[in-house]
Amino acid sequence: MKTSTHEYKNVRKYYNEMGAAFLLYALVLVISICVGRPMKPGSGQTLLLISPMAPFLLIILAIFRHFQRVDEFVRLQILENIAIAAGVTAGWTFTYGFLENAGFPRLSMFTVWPVMGAVWGVIAIVRCAAGR
């Protein structure tokens, strides 16, 4: 599908900003793991281990800036996709919560975002394909 120049410029800006933010995040993450894990427990170690969340804010900023640049229809599509993904994820976490009561292994909170991200991605791909 041939994109418009306007759309191409927007996406290129988004990829540049997101790529730079993600690289910085990965760099700080590696440093925090390599240096932070062997440290003695304490506030210094806690601060170092949580430090990847500082560049993570840049990732959120990149998403927010992209959201500001896209047109009204694309913005509406993104919002609807997020709402559907949040609903599906809420359904999944509640269901698994009941399953934990039935003896299923406890899962980390870390599993919530990958599930929501994956559902979001699938919904975006399916709706994009359906709209062509």
The residues that touch other proteins, with contacts defined as CB under 8 A, are 1-7, 10, 70-74, 76-77, 128, 131-132
Give min distance, CB of 23 to other proteins, in A: 27
| Nearest residue (CB) to other proteins, 28 versus 124 | 124
Give min distance, CB of 81 to other proteins, in A: 13
State which H helix or E strand residue 18 sits in.
helix 5-36
Would you tell me the crossing angle of helices 112-130 and 72-101 to the nearest 10 degrees? Answer: 140
| Nearest residue (CB) to other proteins, 1 versus 102 | 1
Give min distance, CB of 84 to other proteins, in A: 16
| Nearest residue (CB) to other proteins, 26 versus 83 | 83
Give min distance, CB of 2 to other proteins, in A: 5
Give the angle 94-99-104 at the CA atoms, nearest 5°. Answer: 130
Q: Please check whether residue 112 is in contact with residue 95, taking contact to mean a CB–CB distance below 8 angstroms.
A: no
Q: For the chain, how are helix, strand and coil distributed in percent, rounded to 5?
A: 85, 0, 15
